[in-house]
Structure 1
Amino acid sequence: MKCVFVTVGTTRFDELIETMISEDTVKALIDRGYTELVLQVGYGSHLPGPESCSGLKLDAFRFKDSISDDMKRADLVISHAGAGSCLEALGAQKALLVVINDKLMDNHQLELAKQLHCDSHLLYCTCRTLTETLKTMDFSTLTPFLPGQPQNFAKFLDKALGFA
């Protein structure tokens, strides 16, 4: 089974959830060979039932203690642009498509997605362009996101302060 995991984190992003279960988006996922869709809907107003996506096995939930198992199992992660969700998916070495909530004012999420895209770690779009992005996405152009190396900063700090 090829699985898509969608997360909105602890926010409310109804437009993303509604777009994911729309007929056109479901068709785009099926055309790409996906068979399962897992939705983490957070505080959203709609918790889709299994019958919401004809042709895909659907599982939807609001929150879990941890979504790391869902991310590990996924072949594709679609996420809101929250830093925590992005870093968790990239840290798990998953193909990541970030969907920007363009309804937010002064949207800092766009800055994060643009930078990570410029660094070739993810693709991003909006809900309006999600279906087309799913049809044309090519993750082979991306580079793996390497985990941080905090020990390098600690060594630098020790040296700067005269401890090493």
Structure 2
Amino acid sequence: MSQKTCFVTVGATASFTALIRAVLEADFLTALQNNGYTELLVQYGEGGKQLFDTHSKTAINAAKDEGNEIKISGFDLDKAGLGRYMRQAKGANLGAGEGVVISHAGSGTILDALRISVPLIVVPNADLLDNHQVELAEVLAEQDYVVYGKLESLDKALGEAEVWRKKQRQWPPTNSGVHRHANGLKGVMDEEMGFLD
């Protein structure tokens, strides 16, 4: 069985304990298993180690009881950045399946994921003051760049991310604007030469 990774990042500056708890819930782990995932990798941020350790032990034990074989691991911060973890979720390793990134709605993290075209579920952190994350996530989801995730329904967002992956493989991509559909070779030639209606 090939490796398929779900990479979760809460960012470096603000705590997002609710997201850590949500991805370690039994329902979400079952959704991962049902979608062929083999690994859950969580960047839990500074100060999140104790919370992650406590909840991951419970999640691992519950998963074993249900026959779920997802490998769960985590880390606080990586000064080299998150690129390698996102590429792992993209399936860049030999023989790995394409996974997903679940992220807080930080613009830097979103841009990093969009650059490598990995399916991205954006979950705004509602605890932040002057919260721009909700607005950013809504706009990007409307334009079909990301899947808007909610803490209480991450299993549903995971399914939507699988659909998003298939839509992004279409040409032209669904979020690339309005396109004319030329009819046959004549239509293609007319369009290339600038002979538009």
> What's the TM-score, normalizing by structure 2?
0.67
Q: Which runs of 5+ in 2 are unaligned?
A: 64-68, 90-98, 177-197
Query: Which one of the candidate residues 4, 13, 17 is aligned to 2:20?
Result: 17
Letter in 2 for 1:40: Q
**Matched-pair identity in %:** 34
Partner in structure 2 of residue 62 of structure 1: 76
CA distance in 1, matches of 2:53, 2:101: 18
Q: Give the alignment's Cα RMSD to 1 decimal.
A: 2.1
Query: Which one of the candidate residues 85, 91, 108 is aligned to 1:84?
Result: 108
Secondary structure in 2 matching 1:29: helix
Partner in structure 1 of residue 51 of structure 2: 46
| Higher Cα Rg, which structure | 2
Q: Which runs of 5+ in 1 are unaligned?
A: 147-164
Asked if 1 retains the 8 angstrom alpha-carbon contact of 2:9 and 2:42, the reply is yes
Letter in 2 for 1:111: E
Structure 2 residue 130 is the aligned partner of structure 1 residue 106 = yes
Letter in 2 for 1:59: S
Secondary structure in 2 matching 1:28: helix
Asked if 2 retains the 8 angstrom alpha-carbon contact of 1:39 and 1:59, the reply is yes
CA distance in 1, matches of 2:174, 2:107: 17
| Number of equivalenced pairs | 146
Higher helix share: 2
> What's the TM-score, normalizing by structure 1?
0.80
Q: Any residues of structure 2 matched to 1:72-151 within 5 Å, and which?
A: 72-74=87-89, 75-137=99-161, 138-139=163-164, 140-142=166-168, 143=173
Letter in 1 for 2:84: D
Secondary structure in 1 matching 2:8: strand
Structure 2 residue 45 is the aligned partner of structure 1 residue 30 = no
Q: Deviations over 1:36-56 (max 9, x none)?
A: 010000022513376433221
CA distance in 1, matches of 2:158, 2:70: 15
